Amino acid sequence: MTDITPVLITPIDLSGLPTAVFSADALRVEDIAGVLSHIGGSLPPLASSIPAIVSGGVQSAPTGAIQDPAGSAIGAGVPPAMAGAGGASGALYSHFARIGEPLAPIDPIPPCGSVFNRADSRGRRVLHTHSPRLPYVRAAADRLAAAPSALGAIANAYAGAMEAFVSRAPALGADGALLNLVPLSAGIYAGGFLDPRMRHLDPTYTLAAIMLALAERQARGVVLPVTTLCIYDPAVKARTDVVRVELG
């Protein structure tokens, strides 16, 4: 098995973020530019780094590293397909098992951590990211109070994923040129932030978190990876497209 180092970084601090950047029910991020300004970033310098939105499951990406929004399979000690994972993770693990290249067991990593799979086959391009579990807040006021830390957790998860990818890229060959991301904490782990209209985390959270991670890297003067964001559900994809256009 390949020697892989898990990555956990938490450089993004959204404490003190004005709640005015969120909708009144905190189910959406209404002002992504305002969120970026909180950490000293801005949208215009990042325009060329906004991920392209791709329709379909991430396992269908023909090239590049592919992100797994991991959960129950982490540290299970058995191949992920045997660990009872569901959602996007389950589909990804099933894909690799179906093509005869099952993924290796995932190293134990904490929430927001990332680690590449140790498989020596095509599964080596799978980047497992431990999606943070968002709180099960129900009242709008409670959700609004928890929103900055929830967004910050997702942003730090993406920041760690980007760090892991850039560090690992030279060993991935052609797959080291592209990072195919997925929405993190978007379904099972969305808690009280699950938008009932889509049964999914609103894409404004996903894109705001990705942009925060990119802005933090830009501020450090390190490599900004070329990314896509893969969306399986057509309704979520349509909503994500709208938000992506609004970003410029």
Q: What is the pLDDT of residue 99?
A: 84
Token code pair at residue 26: 């905190």
Say how far apart CA 76 and CA 72 lie, in whole Å: 8
The DSSP result for 112-180, as a single string, is: T-EEE---SSGGGGEEEEE--------SHHHHHHHHHHHHHHHHHHHHHHHHHHHHHGGGGGGGGG-EE
Is 204 among the domain residues? yes
Residue 124 has pLDDT above 50, yes or no: yes
Separation between Cα atoms, residue 222 and residue 216, nearest integer Å? 9
**Count of structural domains within the chain:** 1
In a domain, 36, yes or no: yes
Coil, helix or strand at residue 54: strand
CATH code for the domain in which residue 35 is found: 3.40.220.10
**Tens of pLDDT along 169-180?**
999 999 999 999
* 73 has pLDDT over 70: no
Q: Is the pLDDT assigned to residue 17 strictly greater than 80? A: yes
* Overall pTM > 0.75: yes
| Maximum pairwise Cα distance, the chain | 50
Determine, yes or no, domain membership for 11: no
Domain assignment of residue 223, given as a range? 20-247
| Model confidence pLDDT, tens digit, residues 126-147 | 999 999 999 999 999 999 999 9
Domain membership of residue 14 (yes or no) is no
pLDDT band at residue 248 using 50, 70 and 90 as cut-offs: confident
